[in-house]
Structure 1
Amino acid sequence: MPINLQMPALSPTMEEGTLAKWLVKEGDEVASGDLLAEIETDKATMEFEAVDEGTIAKIVVAEGTDNVKVGEVIAIIAEEGEDVAEAGKEDGSSAKAPEPEPAVEQVAEKAAPTPEKPSEPAPAETPKATSDGNRVKASPLARRLAEQKGVDLGALSGSGPNGRIIKADVDAAEGGTAPVKSEAAAPAPAPAAAPAPAANDFDIPHTSEKLSGMRKTIARRLTEAKQTIPHIYLTVDIQLDKLLKLRSELNATLEPRGVKLSVNDLLIKALAVSLMQVPKCNVSIDGDQLKTFARADISVAVSIPGGLITPIITSADTKSLSTISTEMKDLAGRAKDGKLKMHEYQGGTASISNMGMFGIKNFDAVINPPQAMIMAIGAGQKRPHVIDDSLQIATIMSATGSFDHRAIDGADGAQLMQVFKELVENPLGMLA
């Protein structure tokens, strides 16, 4: 029996996706684990693997198709011993999406009489295409046909229900027999001023690009986060000199193993240890419940083409710095290639976002729900700093914690920032 290959849900929040590219073609034999397609989800572009084996009998959804609903049939697989042509023929037709034209419109158009030429034309009795404001009422099919045939809907009178323009009106217009709006029948409109340009539609050279599924999701989630989560921001200045010295010493030791620690690797560790020392910040709101996590899984913001993704270092509080560094390099590389698995970026108990490499001094990051905090890291800069009651030059970094005030009180957030500062300024403490 042919197997219907359906659009998979590649993330818990995915409702639809873009079938970016087929990696197989009709007639190809596939086995379990073979890569079938690249699918752009609400998180990233991911590879879709085969679960069943057989032959690709029919590709139902072409590559590049947007807004493919989860569960929609995208291809037909013929099992071993089946006739490939018959499998594609039998199930392919049933798998196709139904014609989007609403049934009500189709009935209305079939029921509408063909316009007849009256012996005595009476403009006042000719039904007019009604409009909502400046929008002409027309069926979706009529609009599509008018666009294809270059027919001006605004010049037509509709013969459908309530004066709506239907397919028959457009067909008649193409043949030169359609009734047009009578200027005498309608009150003379006041002279209209030239339409003002839209706010972003001035005569400025520009390009337009359709939003990707990832960008749409980023926009939606960040809007929801700012609208539904009461953010509180706490900033501390941290002296980095001891951490930079320790990093240099560790890198000299780890060089034979091919490991090179970044400053961010040490900050991931510091945040994870801080969360375990201040468990009231290692939490999440779940409906009317407050979850407190038993380990620190740190989501790390990584910029990728077209958006942002947050691969996770699990149990970062107990892992060595060399392990964190190795895992982070692997996750970041695969994130940029769109190769992450769902469990590698779904979850996390808190996030860290570092923009220091761009010279950003400090910033306020938006919480990544359902998490309750995110740490924003600025650049380490040489600044005048008071050390032992004397003004000296030190490498100072600003860190800002964003906290969900529903789950984390200001005092608890302040305690986390204090512990984080102490660990970074005395980094041997995070290794003990």
Structure 2
Amino acid sequence: MPIELKMPALSPTMEEGTLAKWLVKEGDSVKSGDLLAEIETDKATMEFEAVDEGVISKILVAEGSDGVKVGTPIALMGGEGEAAGAPAPAAPAKGEAPKKEEPKAEPAPPVAGSGESPPAPAALVMPKPDSTGDRIKASPLARRLAEAQGIDLASLSGTGPGGRIVRADLGEGAGGAKAAAPATASAPMAKAAPVEPGDIPHEIVKLSNMRKTIARRLTESKQQVPHIYLTVDIQLDRLLKLRGEINAGLASRNIKLSVNDMLIKALAVALIEVPECNVSFAGDTLIKYSRADISVAVSIAGGLITPIVSGADEKSLSKISTEMHDLASRAKEGKLQPHEYQGGTASLSNMGMYGIKQFEAVINPPQGMIMAIGAGEKRPYVIDDSLQIATIMSATGSFDHRAIDGADGARLMKAFKALVENPLTMVV
């Protein structure tokens, strides 16, 4: 019987998506790993791939359809040997279904939002992945994500056809759909008061999935996370001088450090020096991280995304620069994979390029802090007991006061300031 292909949850925050483009048509034969469609999530446009072989017998949702809920059937796929043009099984009229069809007419549905794996007939029992020899049954996408996250596929049970491991089985760390549950369990966001534009010329713009998610998450953060803000002024002259020297040496390698690259490194090292701030609040527990993964705010068309430089405390400045350039470029093209923007232990947001002197950023839960960077500018500054002109920037740390005490936040700001003002300490 045909298998329902359902709208997958391609990120933990995804509740609905836009079916941007079909890459197959009715009657096409597909095999595991073939790309079926492009789906616009709340963060990026991602590819949806087949997890088994079959024939696309019916497309249920047209491309361009907006607001398709996770778990909604979007196509039907016939199993091996079924006719390519086999029609979708119509719902039988009441009392007219043949008795022999009754056991498989209503397969047990999966939990809503359980991802891309099609449901199996109720009569089948999902076995453990077939690990005969070294072979474990898993979709190509699941294999790639598992490898990137260091997940042992042998430790997982597959929910795909024949026990195949699919993206949904990997969990939140690799963008699995099971991580979407917390988003639906959170308190609903209060409805905004209606706005009457009156006779002012205007247009009504429908919110994108990304903008809806940004609105919901930032509202939840300000409502549920008690923020404390700490600001320091930091002299940049030494850092700027060192950056110029490093860039001169890297010119032949086509690498150019930005100030932001060096600030990413400084924040990561500071978090390792003050581990009390490298944490997440988790109800009645506190998660303490031993690695500093820095989420960096990148402005893209229609919103904001935070690609992650993982293990930035141990990476060289040139490595951070190369990774950040690649991540930012693909973020603007909507080509990031979930594990490249989901997670992180702290965030950095730099608005200095816009001339913003100082601001307070909203924490990105479940992270415990975010560093807001203002513009470096010439200011009167006391150096060696004399008033001089120096390049100064203001940095403000926003801390989750449930998890981080003010004194620990102050220690982090002090460590961050010391690293930026003495940048050689970051590279030795």
Give the TM-score normalised by the residue count of structure 1: 0.73
Shift of 1:310: 0.6
Deviates more, 1:50-59 or 1:421-430: 50-59
Shift of 1:91: 6.8
DSSP 3-state at the match of 1:39: strand
Q: Deviations over 1:166-215 (max 9, x none)?
A: xxxxxxxxxxxxxxxxxxxxxxxxxxxxxxxx743211222211111111
Going from structure 1 to structure 2, the CA distance change for 1:82 and 1:200 (only over 3 Å counts) comes to same
Provide the residue aligned with 2:216 in structure 1.
Answer: 220
Q: Which runs of 4+ in 1 moved over 6 A?
A: 91-95
2:374 is equivalent to residue 378 of structure 1: yes
Q: Retained in 2: the 8 A contact 1:311–1:331? A: yes
CA distance, structure 1, for counterparts of residue 285 and residue 48 of structure 2: 35
CA distance, structure 2, for counterparts of residue 331 and residue 350 of structure 1: 17
DSSP 3-state at the match of 1:295: coil
Deviates more, 1:240-249 or 1:51-60: 51-60
Shift of 1:383: 1.2
Shift of 1:92: 9.5
Provide the residue aligned with 2:416 in structure 1.
Answer: 420
Provide the residue aligned with 1:287 in structure 2.
Answer: 283
Shift of 1:5: 1.3
Cα root mean square deviation, aligned = 1.9
Shift of 1:388: 1.1
Provide the residue aligned with 1:404 in structure 2.
Answer: 400
Shift of 1:288: 0.6
Shift of 1:44: 2.8
1:98-177 equivalences under 5 Å are none
Structure 2 unaligned residues grouped into runs of 5+: 93-104, 107-193
CA distance, structure 1, for counterparts of residue 90 and residue 305 of structure 2: 38
| Structure with more contact order per residue of length (Cα contacts < 8 Å, sep ≥ 6) | 2
CA distance, structure 1, for counterparts of residue 26 and residue 90 of structure 2: 14
Q: Retained in 2: the 8 A contact 1:58–1:92? A: no
CA distance, structure 1, for counterparts of residue 91 and residue 37 of structure 2: 18
Provide the residue aligned with 2:13 in structure 1.
Answer: 13
- Asked which structure has the greater CA Rg, the reply is 1
DSSP 3-state at the match of 2:89: helix
2:31 is equivalent to residue 35 of structure 1: no
Deviates more, 1:18-27 or 1:380-389: 18-27
CA distance, structure 1, for counterparts of residue 267 and residue 351 of structure 2: 16
| Aligned partner of 1:273 among 269, 274, 278 | 269
What is the number of residues matched between the two proteins?
A: 329
2:241 is equivalent to residue 250 of structure 1: no
2:316 is equivalent to residue 320 of structure 1: yes
Shift of 1:80: 4.1
Paired letter, 2:297: A
Q: Retained in 1: the 8 A contact 2:355–2:375? A: yes
Provide the residue aligned with 2:44 in structure 1.
Answer: 44
CA distance, structure 1, for counterparts of residue 281 and residue 74 of structure 2: 37
Provide the residue aligned with 1:173 in structure 2.
Answer: none
Q: Retained in 2: the 8 A contact 1:17–1:68? A: yes
Provide the residue aligned with 1:98 in structure 2.
Answer: none
Q: Retained in 1: the 8 A contact 2:264–2:294? A: yes
Provide the residue aligned with 2:188 in structure 1.
Answer: none
Shift of 1:229: 0.7
Q: Deviations over 1:29-82 (max 9, x none)?
A: 434333322222233332222322333221111122233222221112234432
| Percent pairwise identity | 74
Q: Deviations over 1:107-145 (max 9, x none)?
A: xxxxxxxxxxxxxxxxxxxxxxxxxxxxxxxxxxxxxxx
